[in-house]
Amino acid sequence: MLPDPLHPAVVHFPIVFAAILPLVAIAALVLIRRGESVKRAWIPVLLLGVLLPGSAWAAVRTGETEEEVVEEVVADAPIHEHEEAAELFLPLSLGLLALVAAGLTGGRIGRAARGLAAVASVAMLIAAYRVGHTGGQLVYEHGASAAYVTAPSAGAAGEPIEHDDRRDLDRASEDREGNR
């Protein structure tokens, strides 16, 4: 059975792939320099290069699906900021995949592509950080998780209540901000 909501479970994959890719690319460059065949050393980089935009696409799609639910409890501006970061991350990861794929070619072009792919993979960490950070802000600062959870009522210990009234959530958010 799939988690519900699915987006929080999916979003960690592109972040992990973005974090691992530079390490694997640098290791592959070292191996190639020590005499390992380009194809043998670079295939793991290509695999991660494929998984990164694939997982980013899944994260964007699940985010779009769940956006309407979260809009019930979070203002548009932080959602839009996270969405923009994610929508930039996806094409950047596709561009990185093109560089990684070109790294399998021989000669100067392949060597240059491998070097550029390694540098670009490090730069992808900045984009991954921005997406993850704005997503974390949605959950931990703006209360996006409230769209999916129930809170205990003050009158009945342990009995969940549904927050159908956005004003209650806005007041709770204001109370948290006032206590900082």
Confidence of residue 161 (pLDDT cuts 50, 70, 90): very low
Rg of the chain in Å (alpha carbons): 21
Count CB neighbours of 38 within 10 A.
Answer: 17
What 34-43 contacts at long range (C-beta under 8 Å, 24+ apart), as own/partner pairs, is: 38/103, 38/104, 38/106, 38/110, 38/114, 39/104, 42/100, 42/103, 42/104, 42/114
> Which ranges of the chain does DSSP label H, i.e. alpha helix?
7-10, 12-33, 38-70, 76-102, 107-140, 166-178
pLDDT for 178 equals 58
Q: Name the nearest CA neighbour of 81 among 144, 20, 21, 124.
A: 144
Greatest Cα pair distance in the chain: 73
Check if the beta carbon of residue 8 is closer than 8 Å to that of residue 100.
no
Most confident range, picked from 72-76, 168-172, 174-178: 72-76
Query: What tens digit of pLDDT does each residue of 84-132 get?
Result: 999 999 999 999 999 999 999 989 999 999 999 999 999 999 999 999 9
The pTM for the full model equals 0.79
- pLDDT at position 155 is 47
Q: Which two tokens stand for residue 132?
A: 């993850």
Q: What are phi and psi of 151, to 5 degrees?
A: -110, 150
Tens of pLDDT, residue by residue over 10-51, are: 999 999 999 999 999 999 999 999 999 999 999 999 999 999
**3 band by pLDDT with thresholds 50, 70 and 90:** confident
Mean pLDDT for the stretch of residues 131-140: 94
CA–CA gap between residue 122 and residue 116 (Å, rounded) = 10
Contact 74, 142 (CB under 8 A): yes
For the chain, give every domain's residue range.
7-149
